[in-house]
Structure 1
Amino acid sequence: MAAPRTLVAIATYNEIENLPTLVDAVQSALPEADVLVVDDASPDGTGRWADERARCDPRVEVLHRAGKLGLGSATFAAMRRAIDGGYDVVCTLDADWSHPPDRLPDLVAALARADVAIGSRYAAGGAIEGWPWRRHVMSRVVNVAAKGLLRLPVRDSSGAFRAYRVEKLRGLDFGSMRSSGYAYLEEILWRLKRLGASFAETPITFTERRAGASKINRGEASAAAGLLLRLGAQEWLGPAAAPFGDRKQPSAEADGSRST
């Protein structure tokens, strides 16, 4: 049986210290996959390096965007590219080495039994290295809230290390997505669940970024919390809560280090 045609998407902003080795590792893990770098006009030369790599490597493609338009919108752009390009699978991972690229084959294999495969820190065997206790607490709170408010049948809904069956993504209305920033991670699972998607979780060890600075900020965290509440209202109250849940979230910068 032929391997699924796979696209690995990496959203970047100022990740020149991480991206070259990460692309090499992704290609080592999935030699037949294509890599799409979605760069939000990184001033540190990330996009320029990606262009140079693409010129000599047909497996690499670069999508340049005008500025910091948000991790969610960068991921949606990659998903549209996968749909338009006739791919079977699209994978996403952070650009900062917090996700182990050598586990990509496990995610793709898990799609044999599910529509979405999640590299999970909270499945049996999963772990997190290098976080302060406050971040552990915040992450647990977010995931418990998402599970309760959105009735998501997964342990880890806030990590970006995932594989999606492209055929299932065709049913999404990307224009209806409320978040262009980090909260898309919970929202897209919720919307796919409502389309009847099935989920699988594969344990991973999440590590703190290797180089560069994280771009997570309190404003984005507040926006994500507000979105969870609005989507939760729609989940539990149905159409009556639609006006409450229909506020578009402000965009946040694309970032290779989001996971909470």
Structure 2
Amino acid sequence: MAGMPCSIPHPGPCCRARLIARHKRFTVEAEALDGPDAGRIVLAHTNNTGSMLGLLRPGVTALLSPAASPARTLRHTLEALELHGRFVGVNTLTPNRMLRRAWETRALPELDDYDTFRAEAKTGDSRLDARLDGPRGTLWVECKNVTLVEDEVACFPDAVTGRGQKHLRELMALAATGARVALFFLVQRTDGRCFGPADVVDPVYADLFYEALDRGVEAWPCVAQVDETGVSLADRLRVVRS
């Protein structure tokens, strides 16, 4: 990566926990292994609504960050899960935070020459994760978190995503107006050698992804290294075509 080192801390000091189970959509149960709740069973919030395929195995080590508000019902947030001795980041807010940090540190050359960064920017009846403006005009970016790797290919999504399909159609519509648009895929694990859409999981998304590339939508798959302290931006992956 060009520019300064690019990293972000977790939203508070993490504790280690032993995963027990996922309950419903937004909650995981775990046994805290250290910190003030060591030895206790805790319920943690997860904002990752995907399947987290291959990661949610009972007994694996999880990283839990403290909730920003002590009044929140679930006092922890799931940040990462261990796989083969390394952590995989599952917090879906991390890509948005990393994109802004990459702009601030000039870690991504594609973000050079943009003076302003606006999160959750409105376009039509929708919102995209970021709008950047500068001498080069306007750049729209949608961020995605990647936790699935199959045969050394980092893949998105890990579950059928109607929302993701909608985003691709919106990006193609913007590209048709002459706007610059991109997808920022943060691959929060280090065992992928290239990137592609998960056509076995969501063939509609895969077809739309390749159509989007042909229509001028850029794809930036970037590897992130995850540990107990935070997340650091690492290498860029090439996009493979089926």
TM-score, normalisation: structure 1: 0.26
Q: Which has the higher contact order (CA 8 A, sep 6+)?
A: 1
Between structures 1 and 2, the one with greater strand share? 2
Between structures 1 and 2, the one with greater helix share? 1
